Each structure stands twice: as structure tokens, then as C-alpha cells.
Chain A
Amino acid sequence: MSQKKSTSLLITVLLSTLAAVSFFPIYLAVINSFKTQGEMFRSFVALPSKIHFSNYVDAFRQIQLLHSTLNSIIISVVGIGGIVFCAALAGYKLSRTSGRLSSIIFFLFIASMLVPFHSIMIPLTRMAKALSVQGSTYGLAIIYIGLGVNMAIFLYHGFVKSIPRELEEAAQIDGCNEFQTFFKIIFPLLVPITVTIAILDFLWIWNDFLLPLLMLTDVDNYTLILSTNTLFGEYNKEWSLILAALVLTAIPVIIIYSFFQKFIMHGIAEGAIKG
């Protein structure tokens, strides 16, 4: 029995050490963002002698925090809303319809999940320019819908199979047309998988870097990540300022993480196992 206890202790020590190492960069970013540049270079590891908010005031202004956060929110909300709306309609119908056409359309959606983004980025940029959706936040959100529906349709398609058909038949007998049946009866039943999809897409869209980099040209439309990237390029020696910006960029996701941790982890596991 004592051997079992010592193994258990060893695992605890190991996990704690790894956790400390894993948390170390975040700790460093946070404490140094409260120091002056001079104090920081004396020691990176020590706690700040006095808390300075001046880095945050500067970073707040430099990355236009409110504005770029708002842009990120608009892109995520419109993108996720669009993906959920379009994919729920399509996934439901494709799941309920048999026949060749339905299978072909479904296959097209699924096969495209294997296409790497980097293989389409050049024609996509041209397409966005041609349709003049390049450079606008709403335009970017629409592109996210086009790129995100395939996985969402896949997840909805699987989930709809677990919903008994009798519900729709009953609604139709009661005089609902197809769309009423979908929005009043089916869509509310899809909530669990909708939450999963919304979470996966939020993490993807909010944290995405390359697509916004290619699409957004005007600083006023920059997402939070893009603004921070620009700041990093311009002030690459002013670490206290950069760290404050990094912390400000990470705060929204950390807040969301602390509130929705259960849902996020469940969503990831669910999304992966269905895939």
C-alpha cells in the first residue's frame, strides 16, 4: 500500500511541476506588464515593487481596444449566427432526405473539410476582392460562414438522426409547413449540438489570424488579434507595452473560459468524437 501512496505522491509532484512550467509564461506576461521598462530589465521574475497601470493605458490606446474588440465581436457573432442558421437548415434537410442528390451534396460538404486553408487562400483573396467583401468586417464574417458550414452541417447531420420523425409528422398534421416545423419543432431540439458548434466556431474565429490578415486592410476594421500583431511589429523593443497588449488580448478569452469551461471542454470532446 505504501508503494501506491508514493506513486500517487510522485504523480502529484510531477503534475504540479508541469502546471507551474505551463503557467510560467502567463505569469511572466502579467507581472511584467505592471512594471516600468527599467524595473523589468532588473528582474523579469520578481513581482512588481509598485503596480504601474501606464502600460495598460498606452496599450489600450495603441490597439484601440474597444474598437478592435467590437470588430472581433461583430465578426464572431455574425459568423457564428450565419453558420448555425445555414448549417442547421441544410444539415437537417440533408439528413432527412434520401436519394442521390442529397448524398452528393452532403459528400461535397464533407470532402471539403480536408482542404487546408492555405490551399485556397490565394483564389479566396481574389474572390473576396471581386465581390468587394474584402476589407469589411461583415464581409469577413460572411467568408467565415462559407468556410465553416461544412463542419457544422456534418455535426447537425449526425445529431438529427437521433430525433424521431414522428415529431415532424405530428406538426405537419397540425398544419405546420416545412419551415414552421423546422423553426418551431426541430431547431429548439438542436440546442445541445448548436452549443457545441457555436463554441468550436467561436474559438476558431476569435483566435484566427491569417484570414483577417489577408482580408482586412483598414486599421479601423482590425480584429483584436490583428491590432496586437501590428503593435508587436511597431514597438518590438518596448516589452512592457507589448505585454500589456498581450494580456488585454487574452483577457476576453480567459473570461469566457472561466465562465464556460464545462461547455467548452464538453464541446471539444463532443465535436472530436463525432468527427
Chain B
Amino acid sequence: MPIKSYKKYISLLTFVAPAFVLYAIFLLIPTLGGMFYSFTDWNGLNTNYEFIGLGNFIEALKEDPDFISSIFFTLKYVLFMVVLQNVFALLLAVFIESRAKSKGFFRTIFFMPNMISTIISAFMWTFVFAQVLPQLAEKTALTFLDQSWIGDPQVSFYSILIVSLWNGVGYMMIIYLAGLQGVPQSLKEAAVIDGATAFQTFRNVTLPMITHAITICFFLTLNGAFKVFEVVYGLTGGGPGRSTQVITMNIYEEAFSNNFRYGYASAKSVILFVIILIFTLIQIRVMKKREVEA
């Protein structure tokens, strides 16, 4: 018996080894390494480092107004994104699903932006915001288009949202469409026969049947929104000043373009990880509960 179980382990390890070795080198060790360095004063210029306990965390949360404001900016962005992305995606999915002939056409059009890399989308929209819209405002009566779309942080928050939504809604729409296709036609017909309006049918039959898709999409949008980087990098670069800086960009600057304070930047990374973890766990817990009830 011991020989057999020994063989079983060997076989397990040989199959798992290629994946595990690369995973350990490039994901597991860096994860643990980042946590380790977050307690040190390690920087890129010096090879020696010392343990400074929670020093980095205290500095980040107490003495770094740029980091704090990047957290609040990101939270605001996350809130808008989670709500708007899901509302738009679900509405589009419901409307498209109700079309008979044009279903495929609309699906293709709305999903297409998702194929284009986020950073390329941001560049494309920079052209629209900086050049096209001001000219359109000048030539037509659409004066509201003449905004400082990228220069004014109040407005550029919405520019960032627009590009993120343009780029991301299609993905969620596909998941919602798949969810909607799983709703049995007979249930909807039964509701209609019982005299339910279209909205009532949606509210009481369709929505409960797609809670699983809703949970997934909320998870994906929540996670993705906290990690936003490319859109902001391509559109405003975090500016003007640092007014549109998100957490990831603050970490990136701290580590790679400012002082090379790796230890300090690692502490900020750990804070980001913890924030995402807390929000994700709460979201999954709350929504799973509702899923069971439904």
C-alpha cells in the first residue's frame, strides 16, 4: 500500500510540476515577496534594506494625500462603473434578445469595441475628445460638446467613464445574453397569460432566473474597475497634476517613475489587494445569498 501511494504522489507531481514551477516563480513568490517587502524600506537605489514594521502602511494611509485621493477617486470610479456597466449591459442584452432579425448585427456592433485593446481605445477617444467634439460644437448647435474633456478633472472623470464603458460593456452584455437565453420561454409565456406586463415579466421572471449571471458580472466589473489603469494612462495620464490618478497608477509611479521606493510601493500594493479582497468577498457573500433565495 505505501508503494502505491508513493507512486500516486510521484505521478501527481510530474503532471503538476510544469504548471506549478512557472506559477511559483512568476506569481506565488512575487505575491509573497511583495508582502514581505511591504514591511521594509527597500528602494531601487540601495541593495540593503531594513524592517520598519508597519511604517510604510502608516505613511501611506496618514501622510500621503496623493495616495488617499487616488483611493477615493478609484472608489468613485468603481461605484459608477459597477452600476452603469451592468445597467447598460443588461439593458442592451434584453433589447437585443427581443430582436428577431437584427440580433446578430447589434451584438456584433456592441461587442466590437471590446476587441480593441483598452490603451488603443483610450488613444482613439483622446482624438474624439480633444479634436472632434470641440470642432463639432463650433460647427453645429451642440455647444454642450465643447467641454474641456481631458483638461478639467471634473469633466475628465466622465470622459474616463465613457471610454471604460465603451470598451467594457460588450463583454458583460455577452454574459447577460447567455444568461437570458437560459430563461425558459414557457415561463415568460405563462407570466404573459397570467396578465403580467412586459416590465413585470422582466422583474419577476427574467431577473430571478439570471441572478447567477448578475453575480458574475458584478464580480468581474468590481474587480476590473479597481484595477483600472490603461484608460486613465492613455487618456489623462493621471493629470492634470494628479487629479485623476487611480490607485494602480499611484503605485506604478511610486515604483517605476518617482523615487523607486519599492518597499513603500509594495505596501500600497498590499493595501490595494486587501481593498479588492474585502469588496469582492462582501459582494460574493451578499449576492450568493440572494441567488439561493431566488
A residues with CB within 8 A of B: 7-8, 11-12, 14-15, 18-19, 22-26, 28-29, 32, 41, 43-45, 82, 85-87, 89-90, 92-94, 97, 99, 101-102, 105, 108-109, 112, 114-124, 126-128, 131, 142-143, 145-147, 149-150, 153, 178, 182, 203, 206-210, 214, 225, 228-229, 232, 239, 242-243, 246, 249-250, 253-254, 256-257, 261, 265, 268-269, 272-273, 275
Q: Given B28, B132, B247, B276, which contacts A108 in the complex, CB threshold below 8 Å?
A: B28
Asked whether, in the complex, the Cβ of A29 is within 8 Å of the Cβ of B95, the reply is: no
B166 x A119 contact (CB < 8 A): no
Binds A, one of B7-15, B53-61, B64-72, B147-155: B7-15
Query: Closest approach, in angstroms, between the C-beta of B205 and any C-beta of chain A?
Result: 18
Cα(A25)–Cα(B235), bound, Å:
14
Do the beta carbons of A253 and B272 come within 8 Å of each other? Answer: no
B120 engages A120 (CB within 8 Å): no
Docked complex: B216-275 residues within 8 A CB-CB of A: 216-217, 219-220, 223, 226-227, 229-230, 233-234, 247-248, 251-252, 255-256, 262, 265-266, 269-270, 272-273
A11 to B98: give the CA distance in the assembly, Å. 9
List B residues at the A interface (Cβ < 8 Å): 8-9, 11-12, 15-16, 18-20, 22-23, 25-31, 33-34, 37, 92, 95-96, 98-99, 102, 106-113, 115-121, 123-125, 127-128, 131-132, 135-136, 139, 166, 171, 174-175, 177-178, 198, 212-213, 216-217, 219-220, 223, 226-227, 229-230, 233-234, 247-248, 251-252, 255-256, 262, 265-266, 269-270, 272-273, 276-277, 280
Other-chain residue from B22, B115, B234, B252 in contact with A145 (beta carbon distance below 8 A): B22
Query: Are A268 and B95 within 8 A (Cβ)?
Result: no
| B107 and A265 contacting across the interface, CB-CB below 8 Å | yes
What 7 new A-B contacts, CB under 8 Å, besides A25-B166, A115-B27, A123-B29? Answer: A45-B132, A121-B255, A122-B262, A127-B29, A150-B27, A265-B107, A272-B220
Of B34, B118, B136, B230, the contact of A120 (CB 8 Å cutoff): B34
Cβ A93 vs Cβ B15 within 8 A: yes
Contact B123–A228 (Cβ < 8 Å): yes
Q: How many A-B residue pairs have CB under 8 A?
A: 251
Question: Which of B25, B37, B247, B280 is most buried by chain A, counting CB atoms within 10 A of its CB?
Answer: B25
Also in contact, A257 and B251, with CB within 8 A (given A87-B19, A112-B31, A269-B178): no
| Known interface pairs A122-B265, A145-B22; A112-B28 also in contact (CB < 8 Å) | yes
With A112-B23, A123-B266 in contact, is A118–B16 under 8 Å at CB? Answer: no
Inter-chain CA distance A225–B120, complex, in Å, is: 7
A108 cross-chain contacts in B, Cβ below 8 A: 23, 28
**Interface residue from B102, B136, B166, B269 paired with A122 (Cβ < 8 Å):** B269
Once the chains are docked, how many angstroms separate the CA of A254 from the CA of B109? 11
Contact of B175 with A268 in the complex, beta carbons under 8 Å? yes
Report the minimum CB–CB distance from B130 to chain A (whole Å): 9
Whether B34 and A86, one on each chain, are in contact in the complex, defined by CB atoms closer than 8 angstroms, is: no
C-alpha gap A199/B273 in the complex (Å): 27
Contact indicator B30/A93 (Cβ below 8 Å): no
Q: Return the 7 tightest CB-CB contacts between A and B, nearest first.
A: A146-B26, A93-B15, A269-B178, A207-B117, A123-B33, A86-B19, A123-B30
